[in-house]
């Protein structure tokens, strides 16, 4: 029914303007904006940050965002994050998170003219011990927003959805 009404991101947003704007922010502004989304971040070393967010509150649950691993470093990072109940990020990671949050919000606002949508919908399945956040939920449809030059989604993106 809505299949033809939903257009690509570029139809609704100037993503490059969002990206440039976030690149201009200093790290303190990034941390402040992330706090508005419920992500609390501390700088622990130059270029290294720890964060508490919705997913980290559920230490015994699998985090949908970390189901697929690409490198050994990812496994070490996951081990540290699991043991200490935090997420570990670089400044670049934090900028990318903020970019994603802003793009999700703006895309959801644009789609809101067509159908009611919510962004960053917190999801938990107690039986399967899975916790995560859906990018955009419109009626009975889930939209996982990814920026990629690949025409085929990566496996971890499908797992997230």
Check residue 122 and give its pLDDT: 85
Please give the model's pTM, rounded to 2 decimal places. 0.74
Look at strands 62-63 and 130-138 and give their pairing.
parallel
Where are the domains positioned within the chain? Answer: 9-160
Check residue 1 and give its pLDDT: 44
Q: What is the pLDDT of residues 55-92, one digit of tens each?
A: 777 777 766 555 445 566 677 777 777 778 888 899 99
Q: Are 123 and 34 in contact (CB under 8 A)?
A: no
Helix (H) or strand (E) holding 81: helix 72-84
108, pLDDT greater than 90 = no
Distance CA 114, CA 7 (A): 11
Residue 119: which pLDDT band, with cuts at 50, 70 and 90?
confident
Quote the percentage of the chain above a pLDDT of 70.
77
What is the DSSP code (8-state) at residue 72?
A: H
Could you say which architecture CATH assigns to the domain 9-160?
Alpha-Beta Complex (3.90)
Which of these, 114, 109, 94, 91, lies nearest to 145 by C-alpha position? 109
Residue 3: which pLDDT band, with cuts at 50, 70 and 90?
low
């Amino acid at each position: 029914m809505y299949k033809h009404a939903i257009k690509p991101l570029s139809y609704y947003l100037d993503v490059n303007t969002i990206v440039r704007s976030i690149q201009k922010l200093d790290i303190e502004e990034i941390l402040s904006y992330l706090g508005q989304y419920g992500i609390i971040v501390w700088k622990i070393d130059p270029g290294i940050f720890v964060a508490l967010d919705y997913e980290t509150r559920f230490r015994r649950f699998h985090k949908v965002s970390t189901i697929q691993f690409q490198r050994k470093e990812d496994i070490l990072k996951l081990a540290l994050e699991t043991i200490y109940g935090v997420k570990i990020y670089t400044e670049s990671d934090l900028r990318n998170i903020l970019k994603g949050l802003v793009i999700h919000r703006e895309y959801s606002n644009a789609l809101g003219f067509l159908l009611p949508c919510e962004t960053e919908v917190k999801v938990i399945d107690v039986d399967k011990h899975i916790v995560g956040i859906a990018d955009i939920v419109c009626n009975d449809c889930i939209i996982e927003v990814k920026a990629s030059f690949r025409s085929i989604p990566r496996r971890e993106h499908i797992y997230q959805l």
